[in-house]
Structure 1
Amino acid sequence: MSSRLTGKLRAFVFNSHNNGPKAAECRSCADPCNQDHDDFSSRLDIDMDSDMLGSVKPYHRQVVISTGKTDWEKDVTEVEGTLAALLTTANSSLGTPKKPKSTNDPLPSGLFSHTEAGRLAILNGSHRSFSPDELEETVIVLPDFIVVSGVPRTLAGAEAFWKAALDPALDRAGVTHRLDNLNTWVLPYSCLILLCSHKRRDKRCAVAAPMLEKTFQQYLEREGWEVHTDLHDLTSAPSLELQASSTIEKEQLIESQLKSLHAEHRALILRNSHVGGHKFAGNCIIYTPRGAGVWYGRVTPHEVESIVKHTVIDGQVLPTIFRGGLDLVCRGKKTLYDW
């Protein structure tokens, strides 16, 4: 990243006295490394020269669909009969193009707000559905930090899910009173780490993801965090629908639960399908309960300790590996966890 862009990011996003979280150093180990980290970038064709900033396509929401797999067909939204394909059809028929809001204070390249974008980003994830019906999926909705279970793998099911939780006109509470059988919960983790592992799209991500998953788990556990690599079954706890009788009550309940999560020190690491920019492998997205999403590229095990300490724990952003970010600018806030 050029010094000009790094300086711009520091001024707009990472200055703790102005708009948001401060910057931190990217690499914790020595260069050359003295910790036996496996640097896969030395044997893969990784783009180390292009500017990564601005390489993330803005989106209103991103969904991660349960599949229990770590690799998928090349284009997951075109595989007939899958929820990814059905949801793409539902979004095309039900969604309307969202015009960006005009603003007198535009964000710099690479930063965007979900309220100003209309695209629905559809991913497959490595987590397994905890619905008792094998024809139903469990979907994580971001940046809302919500889990929706019992989504039927049918066009009608995809449309019901879209209307209940994905319509751009809805906030994170979604539709409170519905006729469908969908159940929702707050994603019960202090952060979600997504790692692209889509081999049939690009083998570089498939090489990077398992190494990064192992290294993230190692450093998180060293910091005393609990780490899951599959979504915990939430059905033992009452759904949000059972706990709230109105949209206002549901929103208050969600916010209360989200605000308490950072202190839990529990992380969920999932592998996911193609997010774009595979030439920048390893690709990593980190979401916090507040709804901030940080996209990193060229991530190797060398950077993981710094990401854990500075981004996951302290809520800071590392400019050197920064590709883009969702809802990062919060005036007066010092970390990605501040409300």
Structure 2
Amino acid sequence: MASSLKSFLNSAKQTISGASTPAPGTPDGNTPCKELFPKVDPAVDGEDCDHDCDSCIVSLPKGFKIDEDDKLYGYVKGWSTHVLVATGKTDWVRDVADEKGSVMEAIDKKADVKPSNGRLMLSASNIPTPSHNTSYSEPTTVLLLPAFIIIENVTPKNVNTLISEFINKGPTNTTPLGPISIPTSLPDPLPTADQLTSRPSPHRALILLCSQKTRDARCGQSAPLLRKELERHLRVCGLFRDLDDERPGGVGVYFISHVGGHKYSANLMVYRKEDAFGLDKIERGKLDGEVCPPPAKPSADEVQEGAAQCIWIARVRPEDCEGIIKFTVLQGKVVKPERQLRGGFDRQRGVFSW
């Protein structure tokens, strides 16, 4: 009886807060939780595939509490494209569009051109600026997803071009996977102040962690701790990349601004290219030792298709990090979908859920 009453009260609380109501504009036909991404299977991935790591070198602060009762899957606000603006910071004012003089402010509040291919998720990030300072008076870079394209020389004055020529012409989360046709770098080797240049991101996958403590202290506490643990497991396979490390084939780990659902901290998003490391079909349970991809070799002939998947999970703790690297980042699988999966997409299979 007590359990039923608690369940009823939690459902009512979610409904009132909107946490259990799909966001307005959520498309019909969202993929069921069990079908969006493959879940690890002990018969295929090894008997310990769903076990927590027992060798963590960090732990969350004492008293770190989050909501464990709400249903997570399918209740995020859908998005079509995602822009990460390099700021060199790990925290921002409550709404990053209120950062005075920033590219975020220009995109959200001052641009004459608006995104025409669906909702744009706008994130500030700790990606270093070209000048390695945090002043908004200097040009910066933007990482456009799912295109996996870096756009350089971005200023508040040229965000109309950024939106019209890159964001609006780029693929969306529901665009079938295929070659990208947005503009390449401009030919002028010394671009003027108004010219934008672009190039592919050298990474095969990205891990994004909300670090914005002005929205919730738990995000500011958890992000650096999780990054340390994720880095430890990425280094086993030589895949970790520092913020300025652009060697091809690695994994970038970035802090971003509020994405929603901070009461389920830590929120973590993984964007990965198609079969990012050539391991998606590997059956770890039949192999001995660590399974790592071969060293990546840069190829000028590589077809740029952008991210094939985005896997958004929450309630992430340090003991989850080993499984996230081994299975989610390296193989596109989820370990604890019932507890952690919020949504995402797979452009190759044409499935999604917000």
Cα distance per residue 1:42-61 (max 9 Å; x no partner):
62230111011123211111
Partners of 1:96 and 1:148 lie apart in 2 by 16
Per the alignment, residue 101 of structure 1 pairs with: none
Per the alignment, residue 327 of structure 1 pairs with: 346
CA spacing shift, 1:90–1:288, aligned 2, 3 Å: farther
Partners of 2:252 and 2:185 lie apart in 1 by 30
Residue 139 (str. 1) matches residue 162 (str. 2): no
CA contact (8 A) 1:136 1:150 kept: yes
Partners of 2:38 and 2:218 lie apart in 1 by 30
Q: Which has the higher contact order (CA 8 A, sep 6+)?
A: 1
CA contact (8 A) 2:212 2:219 kept: yes
Shift in Å, 1:330: 0.6
Partners of 1:220 and 1:132 lie apart in 2 by 25
Partners of 2:349 and 2:262 lie apart in 1 by 29
1:1-339 matches, within 5 Å, as 8-11=32-35, 13-14=37-38, 27-29=50-52, 34-36=54-56, 38-40=58-60, 43-90=63-110, 93-95=112-114, 118-130=118-130, 135-152=138-155, 154=156, 156-167=157-168, 169-171=169-171, 172-175=180-183, 180-222=194-236, 224-232=237-245, 264=249, 266-290=250-274, 291=307, 292-318=309-335, 319-320=337-338, 321-327=340-346, 330=349
Amino acid at match of 2:266: G
CA contact (8 A) 2:184 2:198 kept: no
Amino acid at match of 1:129: T
Amino acid at match of 2:38: F
CA contact (8 A) 1:90 1:159 kept: no
Higher-Rg structure is 2
Amino acid at match of 2:209: L
User: What is the root-mean-square deviation of aligned Cα atoms in Å?
Assistant: 3.1
Shift in Å, 1:9: 2.3
Per the alignment, residue 251 of structure 1 pairs with: none
Partners of 2:316 and 2:132 lie apart in 1 by 37
Structure 2 gaps, min length 5: 1-30, 172-179, 187-191, 275-306
TM-score for both structures, normalised by structure 2: 0.67
Partners of 1:313 and 1:123 lie apart in 2 by 24
Amino acid at match of 2:100: E
Partners of 2:258 and 2:106 lie apart in 1 by 18
CA spacing shift, 1:192–1:166, aligned 2, 3 Å: same
Cα distance per residue 1:36-81 (max 9 Å; x no partner):
5544276223011101112321111111101111111111012221
Partners of 1:233 and 1:8 lie apart in 2 by 36
| Partner SS state of residue 288, structure 1 | strand
Shift in Å, 1:313: 1.1
Report how many aligned residue pairs link the two structures. Answer: 264
CA spacing shift, 1:50–1:132, aligned 2, 3 Å: closer
Structure 1 gaps, min length 5: 1-6, 17-21, 99-117, 235-260, 333-339
% of aligned pairs identical? 28
Partners of 2:181 and 2:311 lie apart in 1 by 23
CA contact (8 A) 2:92 2:99 kept: no
Partners of 2:56 and 2:37 lie apart in 1 by 33
Partners of 1:183 and 1:131 lie apart in 2 by 16
CA contact (8 A) 1:63 1:123 kept: yes
Partners of 2:198 and 2:251 lie apart in 1 by 19
Amino acid at match of 1:29: D
Partners of 2:315 and 2:205 lie apart in 1 by 20
Shift in Å, 1:233: 6.2
Amino acid at match of 2:63: R
| Partner SS state of residue 316, structure 2 | coil
Per the alignment, residue 243 of structure 1 pairs with: none
CA contact (8 A) 2:184 2:197 kept: no
Amino acid at match of 1:135: E
Shift in Å, 1:13: 4.2
